[in-house]
Every structure is written in C-alpha cells, then in structure tokens.
C-alpha cells in the first residue's frame, strides 16, 4: 500500500500546485495578449502593485518633495482603481494644488523658462515650452547654438534641427489658423524633453535619421503623437514617458496611454516605469509558467497512473514459473 499512498500524495501535491500555477499562467498570457494595447497593459500590471499602502507612500513622498502634480495624479489613479485614500491625504493634496499655491510656486520659474528656454523644475520647463509656441523660442535656441559654434563649443545639432522645423511649423500654424497645432506642440514637448535630458540617444538618432532621410510622414506622426500625449496627460507625464521611448512605435504607445489615462498617466509611469508602455519581464514569466504548467500536467498524469497501478497490483495473478529440471 505504500506505493498507493505515495502516488496519492504526489497527485494531491500536483493538484494543489495547479491552483497556483494556472492563475499565474493566465495572468502572464493576458499580459502578452495586451502587448499592443498600452492602456490595457498598464491596467493589468497595476492590479498587482497599486495597493493602498503603495498609494499612501507615493502621495506622502510627493508632498514631502513639494510635487503637488504627482500627488494629485496618484489620487486620481487610486480613485479610478478603487484604492482607498484617506480624507486627510486628499485634503493635503487639494491644498497643495490650490490655484494660489500653484501660482506662487511656479510663476518665477515659468518666466525664467520662457525667456531662457531652460528650467530646473517643471514650471520652468513649462515656460520654455510656452516660448516654443512662438517664433521666439525657436529663434532663441538657434541663437544659443550659433553662439556656441562661434565660441568653438559643442553644438546640439538635434536642437538646431528641431528649432528649424519649429520655425516652419509655427508659420504653418499661423497661416492655417492653428490647423497643425498638435505638430507644433509636439515639437515644443520634444525640445523641452531634450533640455530636461529625457530624450535618449537612440530616440534622438531615429529622429535625426528621419530628418536627414526626408521621411516627413514618419516624423509628423511621431511629433504629433508627442503633442497629443502632452495635451492629454501634461508635459510632466510626457517627459516621464519619453525616458522609456526609443522610436516612433514607443511614441505611439505613449500617446495611446495618455489618451486613455489623462492626468493619471504620470502616476502610472511612476509606478510601472518602462512596464507602462512595454512588456518587460512578462515574456520570461509566460515561458516560465508554460513550462511549469506542462510539468504540472505531466505530474498529474503520472501520479494518477501510478496510483491506479498501485490499486490494481494486488488483483494481478502472478504465475510462478516452475524451475527447469537440471541435467543429470
């Protein structure tokens, strides 16, 4: 009987493991199925990490750093996903985002960014972006790079290209009464992201290649996606997402996420990082869970077969062979 109980024990163990393996495998498969839908992908991954404790921690940290925008984004995201936020934290976030407090905190930085195109905080970067919506911002940047060239200092050719395109786009915006405004806004976002250091070398190289190759459609789509992301989620969230974007497909994902999540995009990117836009460890997880599920099924079959054999073994009739007579 020891064989029967051993097989039964293995069968119960594999059956218990299936209760853990199957849901995890289903989750990994759902992540892979949603790889082309940035909003759905973010929702699936938030389900496992956005807890009440995590939200409280992020809000407190943002308020401690005087980052009212990030705190408000987490409150909005928590409300969407049904995660409780205490009334005390909500009141602190609302107070930090009051119009008077926001204006007093960012007026000076905004003006400095508008005039110089540089800013150490988000208000300054917003001012620089506002300057880019006029010819002043592009002329300012071209003048700065020209001065660098005259002094023998390094010239940011990427910024020169963007400023040149921006002047043309601004003229087209005024001529068409604002028709290509999304493209113009996308250029402003891209220039601001370059100043903030969030545009990676690979992404900048892809844009430069599109400019040199005359791929106007690809460039227009990419810049338009950034403009849409900025208008839906805000400049800060777009900058955060651009840290993880390398090409036009990534910009399209960021735009889709921003359109779906709006002001919650900043909190989503802060929580998930690159996982907000792309599959990261999900593919490895899926492979692991497929192997685990296959082994689990084989274990269930083998242990069940062994248990049946152990039950039927006593019923088998064993025929004993008579020994052959030895030669005389």
Asked, for residue 81, whether it belongs to a domain, the answer is yes
Number of domains within the chain? 2
14 and 51, same domain (yes or no): no
Exposed/middle/buried for residue 104 (C-beta within 10 Å: 0-12, 13-18, 19+): exposed
63 and 101, same domain (yes or no): yes
Give the distance between the most distant pair of CA atoms in the chain.
121
What is the predicted pLDDT for the residue at 33? 76
100 and 132, same domain (yes or no): yes
17 and 96, same domain (yes or no): no
Domain encompassing residue 295: 2-21+285-315
Q: Which is more confidently placed, 313 or 274? A: 274
9 and 54, same domain (yes or no): no
294 and 271, same domain (yes or no): no
Q: Where does the pLDDT of residue 24 fall: very low under 50, low under 70, confident under 90, or very high at 90 and above?
A: low
Asked, for residue 30, whether it belongs to a domain, the answer is no
Q: How far is CA 280 from the centre of its chain?
A: 10
Asked, for residue 29, whether it belongs to a domain, the answer is no
Please state, in angstroms and rounded to a whole number, the distance separating the CA atoms of residues 15 and 28.
Answer: 20
Asked, for residue 290, whether it belongs to a domain, the answer is yes
pLDDT at 275 over 50: yes
12 and 153, same domain (yes or no): no
Asked, for residue 264, whether it belongs to a domain, the answer is yes
Tell me which DSSP letter residue 118 carries: -
Asked, for residue 161, whether it belongs to a domain, the answer is yes
Please state, in angstroms and rounded to a whole number, the distance separating the CA atoms of residues 173 and 182.
Answer: 9
Q: Which is more confidently placed, 259 or 132? A: 259
Q: What is the pLDDT of residues 91-150, one digit of tens each?
A: 999 988 876 655 555 666 677 677 766 655 566 666 766 676 667 777 877 888 888 888
Say if CB 230 and CB 132 are below 8 A apart: no
Written as one string, the DSSP assignment of 185-240 is: HHHHHHHHHHHHT-S-HHHHHHHHHHHHHT-HHHHHHHHHHHHHHHHHH-HHHHHH
Average pLDDT for 272-277: 86
Percentage of residues in the chain with pLDDT exceeding 70?
A: 68
pLDDT at 9 over 80: no
Q: Which is more confidently placed, 35 or 75? A: 75
Q: What is the pLDDT of residues 194-207, one digit of tens each?
A: 777 778 778 888 78
63 and 173, same domain (yes or no): yes
Asked, for residue 79, whether it belongs to a domain, the answer is yes
Average pLDDT for 304-313: 71
102 and 160, same domain (yes or no): yes
Asked, for residue 323, whether it belongs to a domain, the answer is no
79 and 105, same domain (yes or no): yes
Please state, in angstroms and rounded to a whole number, the distance separating the CA atoms of residues 261 and 75.
Answer: 13
What is the predicted pLDDT for the residue at 179? 47
190 and 300, same domain (yes or no): no
141 and 264, same domain (yes or no): yes
Q: Which is more confidently placed, 82 or 167? A: 82
Average pLDDT for 282-309: 70
């Amino acid at each position: 009987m020891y064989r029967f109980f051993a097989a039964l024990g293995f069968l119960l163990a594999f059956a218990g493991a299936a209760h853990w393996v199957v849901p995890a495998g289903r989750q990994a498969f759902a992540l892979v199925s949603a790889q082309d839908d940035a909003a759905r992908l973010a929702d699936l991954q938030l389900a496992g990490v956005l807890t009440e404790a995590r939200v409280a921690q992020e809000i407190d940290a943002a308020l401690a750093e005087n980052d009212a925008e990030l705190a408000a984004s987490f409150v909005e995201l928590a409300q969407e996903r049904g995660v409780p936020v205490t009334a005390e934290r909500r009141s602190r976030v609302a107070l930090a985002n009051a119009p008077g407090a926001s204006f007093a905190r960012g007026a000076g930085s905004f003006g400095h960014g508008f005039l110089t195109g540089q800013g150490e905080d988000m208000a300054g970067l917003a001012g620089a972006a506002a300057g880019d919506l006029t010819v002043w911002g592009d002329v300012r940047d071209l003048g700065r790079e020209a001065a660098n060239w005259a002094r023998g200092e390094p010239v940011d050719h990427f910024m020169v290209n963007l400023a040149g395109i921006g002047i043309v786009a601004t003229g087209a915006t005024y001529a068409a009464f604002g028709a290509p405004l999304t493209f113009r806004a996308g250029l402003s976002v891209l220039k601001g992201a370059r100043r903030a250091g969030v545009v990676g070398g690979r992404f900048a190289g892809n844009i430069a290649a599109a400019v040199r190759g005359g791929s106007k459609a690809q460039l227009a789509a990419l810049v338009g996606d950034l403009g849409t992301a900025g208008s839906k989620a805000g400049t800060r969230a777009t900058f955060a997402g651009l840290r993880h974007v390398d090409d036009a497909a990534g910009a399209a994902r960021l735009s889709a996420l921003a359109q779906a999540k709006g002001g919650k995009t900043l909190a989503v990117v802060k929580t998930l990082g690159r996982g907000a836009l792309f599959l990261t460890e999900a593919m490895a997880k899926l492979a692991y869970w497929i192997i685990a599920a296959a082994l689990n099924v084989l274990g269930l079959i083998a242990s069940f077969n062994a248990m049946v054999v152990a039950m039927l073994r006593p019923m088998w009739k064993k025929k004993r062979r008579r020994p052959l007579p030895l030669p005389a």
